[in-house]
A = this chain, B = another copy of it.
Amino acid sequence: MIPRKRKLGRGVAMVGAGMSRFGVHQNLNTRDLFVEAYQDMLKSVERGVSPKDIEALYLGNAAAEVWEAQGSNAAMIAAATGLTPVPAVAIEAACASSGVALREGIIGIASGLYDVVLVGGTERMNTMPTDWNTLALASFSDTLYEGAAGFSFPALYASIATAYMHKYSVHHDDFLKGAIKNHLNGALNPKAHFKQTIKELMEARIVRAKQKGEPVPTWQTEMDFLHDPKANPVVAWPNTLYDCCPVSDGAACVLLVAEDIAKNYTSTPIYVIGTGHATGHDLADRDSLTSVPATKIAAKEAYDMAGVTPQDIKIAEVHDCFTIAEVLAIGDLGFFKEGKEAASAAGEGKTARDGIKPINTSGGLKCKGHPVGASGAAQAVEVFEQMRGHAGARQVKKDVNLALTHNVGAHGTNVAVHIFERRG
């Protein structure tokens, strides 16, 4: 099904954005994390915003019911931020929860019902042992046909990765080069879960071995390090530890307003000119494993609405929960040709900060971290900062007047794509 060309009844702009520190925060709960992001957002609104202006909250959260036995999440977050009694809507779409929440917040303003809407996501994941977490995450697959058969997410994406390697004769190293690139970006992001490049992580291990009087590893390059199963063990072949994003706690949010009042809040609104959302089947019901149909459909809706092409997009934050996911994304979004071209883009520097199409300047899910319900909103935070020239050490040099975010739930059962424009 190709969606009909859709149009919003009213324009929407992003005028503020904030996020908490991403990482392992075992003393902070879902609310604490969101309040940290909210306060960061309030500071970002150039001409200020009163919490009284905020008329609704759209909150992405994948499974606080599981991780901290808390339902009624949007109401809890409304209370924690002092926004009660505004309507607050909790949206679950696995790892695309806040990408979908972003779309629903846009729709809320387009409907005429609201002028000012807070959209965000929050997730606290480090509350249980890793094996329980793997189980909890497996519930985002089709539990009847995938999770119940023992398919965890590293394994689901491993199926996709092996299919890609087989079909296009690409090498696992091609995927790892995406991780190296994303760590180069994330190391410059003060809120990232990991704050080191893979080279720095490697060098730290060598220093530690020397200090402890242990055998000193002979790694010369990042690839030596990544090929050493003691440093980078296999999780589900070909996915190694460094192919996988971490399990993170964190929150992020953005402030959306109706286009006609955007200048009340900032001289530089970031307009949302395209939104796309599509659902997809489990792996067994797809024609191909090397492409995610829901990404293509959501992207088409967003590109058509925005009236732009993939070539027009200056930077993109795409969903790289595993290194193969970034390769899939940049193919399905039309940035690179599916196959060798997409797989080798990171290694050839094309997706680096100074490349032809910078991807995941924030560090991506791989390095910035992936508190699942918050990741979609955090992507919007990154493009907000890059488009306004506030991204600090990781600021892209070229003028970023058009950017895209791409947020995937599970293995592509939910995909949200958004396109943003800075005018002038």
Contacts and interface: CB of A to CB of B under 8 A. Distances in A.
Interface of A: 1, 3-4, 6-10, 29, 52, 55, 61-63, 65-66, 68-76, 78-79, 83-94, 100, 103-104, 107-108, 110-114, 135, 139-144, 147, 277-282, 285, 293-294, 297, 409-410, 413-414
Nearest to A52: B1
Copies of this chain assembled into the complex: 2
Contacts of A29: 144
B279 A85 contact: yes
Contacts of A143: 68-70
Contact of A93 (B89, B139, B409): B89
Closest 8 CB pairs of A and B: A9-B112, A75-B413, A87-B277, A110-B111, A111-B111, A71-B140, A85-B278, A90-B92
Contact of A108 (B4, B63, B88, B107): B107
B414 A74 contact: yes
A409 B280 CA distance: 30
A414 B88 contact: yes
B89 A91 contact: yes
**Most chain B CB neighbours (cut-off 10 Å) among A1, A9, A55, A84:** A84
27 contacts: A1-B86, A3-B55, A7-B113, A8-B113, A9-B9, A9-B111, A65-B66, A70-B144, A72-B141, A72-B409, A73-B92, A74-B92, A75-B280, A75-B409, A75-B414, A78-B279, A79-B285, A84-B280, A87-B103, A87-B279, A89-B91, A89-B100, A89-B104, A89-B277, A91-B92, A107-B111, A110-B111
B6 A139 contact: no
Contacts of A108: 107, 111
Nearest to A67: B65
A75 B3 CA distance: 17
Contacts of A100: 87, 89
Contacts of A85: 1, 278-280, 293-294, 297
Nearest to A138: B69
Given A7-B112, A111-B110, A279-B88, A413 B72 contact: yes
Contact of A69 (B72, B92, B94, B139): B139
